[in-house]
Structures are given as structure tokens and as C-alpha cells.
Structure 1
């Protein structure tokens, strides 16, 4: 395959393993993955860059820590509210169209943040930023899951999810430098235009065609778009109707525990991504730029940890599939030990900072592994919706909780005490992943055994010949 075919070309088709049949070239798949990761980075830059402006917003508008934390929480709440509708749109309307639309929406919202005249307007613009980001994670994960084989799924999605820590690093570091030199307004809107251009470029990426879910057992035939072979729970397009979709999302016990475990883990991750720069500034007497650079090492460790431990989960799963979830379970417990020691036992100093940075590795271990396990145990036709459900739960009960709850605890007991208490959520996440691992192999076998019927010989070659 040459070039970068547009959506006018015939859609790609999934095989029984849930990956694109007769894979497109590795170069093409990697180019798509690179574009997905690059746009995700602008997502997290726009989401995270506000934390570097906290000292300036606090001084300009006299805001409390609770009000500042709410600027991060509102993004997560908006993502949670719109995640399922946006994810279902991705499954029905198309993944690449959804990516282009969502990326454009959050980039325009980032520009609106820059011209906010008061706290209420900034809060509203940040909420709209979350609306735009709601469908990107599910659509991007579903797109990549089709382009790469199942045996690499946790690795590929960990690379995708690692764009979060990397984008957060850039947001914190560049935000700290830019806010001090260019002001908070320019800082908040700086990446709106690049994100908009990259989002529109996705209109040239080819989507794939998923098989439909059957009423009886979740098996189905490739969705032809013509409505052949429909069951009572399918729409006329061959896609699963709402009732069948909901059943599929919660049929698997593994998926449910992954929804919950991912959310609990993100309570801690969002807490430190949001408040660590402020803690370092207050406790260590650092400037905004210096605190951003120090905090960036913790976030960068998360970037490395997400990829390395995601790949480790894939390797461990080769011998015993349930180990794909045991890896994040063990590492979440380890993250609690490191963070509690740093903030509950030690005070500001070299020892504390070293433990903080090291803890950044295991605390991000579930970023790609949890959604990969969810995708493994649901039917390919509802992948984006399943990731959307994970996004809803993780944002509403994870990302939305961390920054705001930490702000409340900080106003009441001090920031260091708050950061010592919040890692308890890591232990709860470890328990959820451990329980989910017990049913993983059974749920995965159920989906694998109910894959789509084979497509006639030569069909895939004709589909990909354009």
C-alpha cells in the first residue's frame, strides 16, 4: 500500500482475532500510530498546562486550592459525561471522523481559555475542552487495536496511553517557562492551533469495518453496511443496537474490574500530575519554571513506566494470559509503598524527591494495560464504546476525584498530608486488578471463540488493493 489513502477508499475489514485482515504495511500502521500519539500529546498538553499557571491565577484572581483543582476536575467530569455518547459515535460514525472532530473541538476550546475574562469563563472553557477530549481516547484506542495484532495490544495501547505522561511533561515544563515569560493567557492557548491542524489531517486516514454482535453469543458477521443477516438486537446497518451494546459492555467481569481498577489508579496519577508542581514550589521554594522541571521527571518516569510495564504485561501474558492484569496489580501496590514513604514518613529533601521520581514508574503501569484487557474481552464491534465506558468510569471516579479531593484535603490539613493520604487508592486499584485477573482467561476465550465468520477468499485483498 502506498500513500495515505483517504476515506473514499473501501474500509478495512477485521479478521477473527479482531485485527485488520491481511495487515496494511507496517510502515502505514506505524505512521497512523505516530499520528494518534502526536494528537494525544496535544490533548494532554492542553489539559495539563493549566497547572503551571496556578501561581499566576492564584495571584491574579485570589483563588483557593479547591478552585484551582476544580479547573482540572471539570475537564475530567466533562469527559466522563460525554465519553459514552462520543465512543458510541466512533463505533457507528467512524473512528477517524470522530478523532478529527474531537481534536478540532478541544483545540478551539484551548484557544477560548486564553481569552477568558474571569474564573467562570475559564472554568466554562476548560469544561468545553473536556467535551472535545471525551471521544478521542476511545476512538484512538479502537483504531490502533485494529491496526496491530492482539499479541501486541497492551504494548501498542501503552505507547498510546504514554502520550498522556509525555504530553503532561511538556505541558508542565513548557507551561512553567511560558507562563513566566509570556503570561498565562498565551500559555493556555499556545497549542490550540497545532492541535487543530493535526486533527484535520486525520481525515486522510483509513478506517476499518468491524463485525456485528449477534444476539445469541456475541459472534457476528463482518458488517457490510447493508443490513444482511441482522438479529433482533442489531440496527439496519448491522451494528449492535443499544441493548446489545450495554450487555456486551458489562458481560465480562474482567472488563468491569478493569473499569474500576483503572479509575482508582488514576485518582493517584491525576493527584500528582496536578499538585506536584505546587508542592515542589511551596516546600522547596522553587520558581514555577523550576518546579515544573522537577515535576517533569516524575511524569517522565510515568511515560517510561507505561511503555515498559505494558510490554512486560504482554510478555508475561504469553505464558499465562491472566498475568496481563497481575503486572499492574503488583506495581500499584508498590507505588503506594513508595509514595506513602515519601510523603508520610519523609520531609522535603533529596531522599523524598528520589522516592517521588521512582514512584512515577509503577504508578503509570496500568495506563495501557487496563484498556488493553478491556478490549481483549469485548466484541470488536463495540471496542470504542467499551473504551468509552472505561473513560467514563476513569474520569468520573478517577481523574475528577484526585485534583479536587487533594485540594480539599490541602485546604484543611496541608498539601503534604493530602499527598500522603491519596496513594491509598493505589492499594484499592491493586485489589481490583487482582480480582479481574481471575476471570480474564475465561472472558478472553469466550470472545475469541465467538469471532466473526470468515470472509470469502480474495475479499480482503480487494479491500486493500486501493
Structure 2
């Protein structure tokens, strides 16, 4: 008979096993794995808030700049759109660099740059200097959203990607709320220059904390996305030979539809982020600080809607992932109807109620489209995929929306321009519907890419 189990010698940790990291950390590791990803999310999310505080504080000081420098609406719009334009142009190349150089290091450099550029906005003395400073803000912020969300998704399971994507991207709205609300209050009491200075200081303090806590090594240890059949971890920890080709970001038709739908659905949301302070100032007679607070409420609804819509999408798509496309379409339809009707009404409670409801769903498709991009692209180029989505969001939405509305406002009036802006949702709905039809083919294409032998994806 064999030796009884109770008679077997117990492991001797004084031997070579004692030096094994897995032997020492086996007990506390599950706790650390649960806590650290949320710590990464919190700090990355905090920096995203700083990103948008620095970007959107400009909207709160529009009335001051217009009066002090005698600027037209189109010039004010250019100060907003130059940031989104640089984000659109630089996101993809910087995301590709971050995938190879290191996502954490890249995020730190970006945050330092946009914070310093925001300080330069505080000391600008004319339109040209402000435009140059805003250009640098755009360079610094260019790839933060794509690299940041790729970093977050790499330490969480795919089943919660839509919720996390919606919540993370909602950080832009929450940051906009703080930037517009605090910027307006500071500008009224201390002057508009202090509005920019406060945002810059907050960003520099937060990036210092991020640098102390989040490292490339710790992120690699907690990377959990795309576990292969043999248990190896793909993504940040994947060897270079297993990287998918960059061309795979553009050869999957379903992913292209997600890019287009995601970008177009951001058009009207970007308009609301930039122009609601001026809308309340001009049509409701609110002072700049009160208009900023009123607009902050709309922006807060946009951010809350992104979180709630992402959560709904994950629940709807739990048994059939294609339903995430349908939820994105539904959010676009609701916002289109509410905002088009709302801005067509005269000032009053009903108008504000419809604008609030439309604002809640205005960017609700952000989480679903980001989840589709993540689910239909290889993890080794995940930041680059999110970078491509960010390019679409900025070129089709964040840059184009405020600028076009500014031009239309000079010719038709602000309220009429705002009433026309939701019509862009029609294009988003068409793109998302086509993506729904092509989803199965996109999954097959990704599966073919994932099963290629090492080195075969060149």
C-alpha cells in the first residue's frame, strides 16, 4: 500500500521553493489582484478628468475672452477645435509608440505636457498666443484617452469592458463639468487666468501620484486580458513576436463601422460640451459663472449617461454580444429626437428637460463602440485600436462639432445651429447598423488572425 497522506513530508520552504515568488505571494496575491486593477482605474480616470478640465475650462471663459479680445464665435470655436484636431492627428502615431515604448511612461509624459501647456494659456496675452498654447494642450492630450483605456482594459476581464469603457470615457464629461463649473467661478472671482492656472496645478499634482503608484512592471503582473489556451497572457506582457500587424486595425469591416459610428455619435455631445455655457448665457440671461454651473449640469448628465448606458449594454449583450450594436443605435435615436425637438422650442422648462434627456444619451454609444473595438482587435495593438477610435471621435466629433456650430452660429444664430447639430446622429445610426450586420464576419476575421503561427502575422 502507498504511504498515507498524513505521513507525506510537508513542503520545505527552506529549499529552493522558498525563493520562488509564487511560493511566497500565493496567499496575498488574490487580494492584490482585486485591489490593484481598481487603483489603476482610479488614477488613470483621475488623470482623464484633469485632461478634460484643462481642455474644457476654456468654455467657461468664452465670455471673458470675447469681451477682452473682441473675438468672433468662429475664433472662440477654433480655440476649442485646435485641441481636438491635434488629438485626431496625433493619437494613432502616439498610440503606436505607447504600445511599444510603454503605456505607463507615455501617460506620464502626456500629463506633464498638457499641464504645462495649460499654464501657458494662463499667461497668454492675445488670441495668437492662446491658440499656440491650446495647440500644445492638444499635443499633450493626443493619445491619453486611447492609451489610458487600453491600460485599464488590460487588467480587467472582457465581460466588463463596455461598462469600464463607458465609465472611463465618462471621465471626459466629469472633467468637463469640473472644468466649466470651477473655471467659471474662479474666473468671476479671481480672473480668467487663474482658471487655467488652477487646472494646471491639479494636473501636475495628480501625475506625480500616478507616477508613484502605477508602473509598467506591476501592470504586467496584473494583466488579465486575452488568456490563451495554454494560460499565457497576451497584451502588455506578450512577446513582440506575437504582435498583430498594424494593418489589422483597418482590415476588419465591423471595426471600421465602430470607428465611424463612435466618431459621429460624439459630434453632438462635443457641441453640448462646448456651447451650452454660451447658450445659457445668451438665451437665459445667466451670468458666466451661473451659466457655467447650468452647463455643468448638462455635462454631468452626459457623463452619467455614458456610465449607465455602458452598464445597460453589458447586460443586454451578456448572451448575444451583437446586441451591443443595437443598444448603441437606440441611444443615438433617443438623443436625436430629444435634442432636435428641444432646441427648436422657446426658452422654458420643457426645453431644458428635453435638452437634459438628450444630453443623458448624447454619448451613450461611447461604451458600446469602444467595447466593440476592443472585442474585435488583437490585444497586442489594443492601444493603437483605441487610438484609431479616438482619432474618429476627435476628427468626426470633438473637433468638427464645435467648429461647425461656431460657423453656423455666426450665420444662423446659436440656437438654430444647435438645433441642426443632432442630425449627424443619422450617419452614426447607419454606421452602427452596418456594423451589426458585419459583426459575425469580423469575429471570424479576428479568430483567423489570433490563430496564425508566431511570426505569421507580419
Give the TM-score normalised by the residue count of structure 1: 0.84
Using the TM superposition, give the Cα deviation of residue 162 of structure 1 relative to its aligned residue in structure 2, in angstroms.
0.8
Q: Deviations over 1:392-448 (max 9, x none)?
A: 122112111111100110000100100010110112212211211222244235435
Partner of 2:320: 320
Instruction: Work out the CA distance in 1 between the residues paired with 2:293 and 2:448.
Output: 49
Task: Name the SS for the 1:375 alignment partner.
Answer: helix
**Do 1:264 and 1:397's aligned partners in 2 also have CA atoms closer than 8 Å?**
yes
Alignment of 1:117-266 (within 5 A): 117-203=125-211, 204-207=213-216, 208=219, 237-238=240-241, 240=243, 244-245=245-246, 247-266=247-266
Asked if 1:33 corresponds to 2:41, the answer is yes
Asked if 1:58 corresponds to 2:66, the answer is yes
Partner of 2:349: 350
Task: Name the SS for the 2:124 alignment partner.
Answer: coil
**Do 2:236 and 2:380's aligned partners in 1 also have CA atoms closer than 8 Å?**
no
Task: Name the SS for the 2:318 alignment partner.
Answer: helix
Q: Deviations over 1:136-169 (max 9, x none)?
A: 1111111111110000001111111110111111
Instruction: Work out the CA distance in 2 between the residues paired with 1:117 and 1:93.
Output: 37
- Structure holding more helix per residue: 2
Instruction: Work out the CA distance in 2 between the residues paired with 1:113 and 1:431.
Output: 40
Residue in structure 1 matching 2:91, options 48, 64, 83:
83
Partner of 2:409: 410
Asked if 1:379 corresponds to 2:387, the answer is no
Instruction: Work out the CA distance in 1 between the residues paired with 2:168 and 2:288.
Output: 29
Alpha-carbon spacing, 1:55–1:33, altered in 2? closer, same or farther (3 Å): same
Instruction: Work out the CA distance in 2 between the residues paired with 1:149 and 1:322.
Output: 18
The number of residues matched between the two structures is 415
Instruction: Work out the CA distance in 1 between the residues paired with 2:238 and 2:375.
Output: 27
Instruction: Work out the CA distance in 2 between the residues paired with 1:189 and 1:269.
Output: 26
**Do 1:99 and 1:202's aligned partners in 2 also have CA atoms closer than 8 Å?**
no
Using the TM superposition, give the Cα deviation of residue 368 of structure 1 relative to its aligned residue in structure 2, in angstroms.
2.1
Based on CA coordinates, which of the two structures has the bigger radius of gyration? 2
Unaligned runs of 5+ in 1: 1-9, 11-20, 214-219, 228-236, 454-466
Please, what is the CA RMSD of the aligned residues?
A: 2.5
Using the TM superposition, give the Cα deviation of residue 202 of structure 1 relative to its aligned residue in structure 2, in angstroms.
3.1
Unaligned runs of 5+ in 2: 1-20, 22-28, 227-231, 453-458
Instruction: Work out the CA distance in 1 between the residues paired with 2:359 and 2:238.
Output: 49
